[in-house]
Structure formats: structure tokens, C-alpha cells
Amino acid sequence: MTMSKKLAAEFVGTFWLVLGGCGSAVIAAAFPELGIGFLGVALAFGLTVLTMAFAIGHISGCHLNPAVSIGLWSGGRFPASELLPYIVAQVAGGIAGAAVLYLIVSGNAAFNVSDGFASNGYAEHSPGGYSLLAALVTEIVLTFMFLLIILGATDKRAPKGLAPIAIGLALTLIHLISIPVTNTSVNPARSTGVALFVGGWATSQLWLFWVAPILGAALSGLLCRWLGGGEES
């Protein structure tokens, strides 16, 4: 598969993740009487990854996330030479997804981007008022576990064809745990896309949602390599 096709797949996949996941949070989470709530948003994020894994997994690996690409590299599953192009494509896809979402929700006169636009935050910008330390620990640990599941589910010794289901359900569970803490990132591209439209506090706190997921993913990759994670199926 050519690099241009891989990057196009990563762009489209991350676009879908942000539009589907953040879109569910912005548009449907608290919709009067029929709102989907935290459970619906968590499921939406899981479904974006599950559907894209089947759609583009055979093209690019369906990373959709700079932390995932770095974790796969750390685990010996991904070449360093492709890291930067993948990350650029993922961030661009995340911004494009946020842009389309912004255009849609701007059609409602009551929409106010300063309400957060599904941005990630800590302290006064945490949905539940959780501290910087709590947010840091949450994002590191949950990204660590996410990569552990990804690396295990895609190992050549794992049951064939079931990896997208395990990974999608893992992301759903991660959101169920951490939406109240940080609004759930575990993905710098997802965080960047919406934060750029909010600006101010969202961009000033964005550093955590790059540093913590990348650190958690890199550590998970190292652990899987030490455990003998094998090769990708």
C-alpha cells in the first residue's frame, strides 16, 4: 500500500472519529428529553473506531491517533520513518472533522463554542472539577491500557478478525470511566481538532492531552515488547 493511500485513510478515519464522537457529545448528549448522555457518547466513540477498523484497517492499520502510532512504534510494530506523516494526517483529519461539526452546530442559534465544543480540560474545565494531577494520571493510565489492548488484540496469535471489536469496546469503556474527569482524550488529534475552535483555555490546556497519552502509549509499547508481544496479524 502506498504512503499516500495510508495517509488518506488515516485522515478520513480520524475525521470520522472526531465528527462521530465529538458530534455525539455536542449535538446529542444533552438533547432535550432524548439525550444520549455519557453512555451514548462513550458508545459513539467506540463505534467510530470499530467501523473504521473494518473500513480502513487493511489500508493504514487504522491508528487514528498519534498516541497509538507512537505506542505501536514503541512496541516494535511501526516504523519510525512513518510516524511524522501519520501524525500530521491524523491531526489534519481531526481538525477537518471539527470544522464540519462546527459548521453543522453553527446552524443552531443557541450554539456557543465557548461552552466547550467537546474540548478536553482539567481543574475548572474538567466536567467533574478534577485536578490537573487527576487528569494527568487518568490520561496516562487509560492510554496505557488502550495500547495494551490494541497490541494484544492485533497480535498474530490473537483470535482472527475480532480486534476491531475489542478495540472499539475498549475505547467505549475508557470513555465511561473518564468523561467526568477530562471529557476523555487518549488521543491528541481528537483533542487538537476541537480545541482550535474553542481557543483560550482549551488550547492552553492542550499540552496535557498530548503529553499524557503519548507517555502512556509509549510505556505500554515497551511493556508489550518486553512481554513478547509478537507480530501484528
Domain boundaries, the chain: 3-227
Write the CB contacts of 146 (distance below 8 Å, at least 6 apart in sequence).
Answer: 67, 68, 170, 171, 174, 186, 216, 217, 220
The pLDDT value recorded for residue 233 is 56
All three cell numbers of 155, joined, read 497480535
Confidence of residue 1 (pLDDT cuts 50, 70, 90): confident
Average pLDDT over residues 130-159: 95
Weakest mean pLDDT among 29-33, 109-113, 139-143, 220-224? 29-33
Q: What is the mean pLDDT of the chain?
A: 94
Element (H, E) at 19: none
pLDDT in tens, 65-92: 999 999 999 999 999 999 999 999 999 9
Average pLDDT over residues 112-131: 95
CA dist 149 and 88 (Å) reads: 24
Confidence (pTM): 0.94
pLDDT at 156 over 60: yes
Q: Which fold has domain 3-227?
A: Glycerol uptake facilitator protein (1.20.1080)
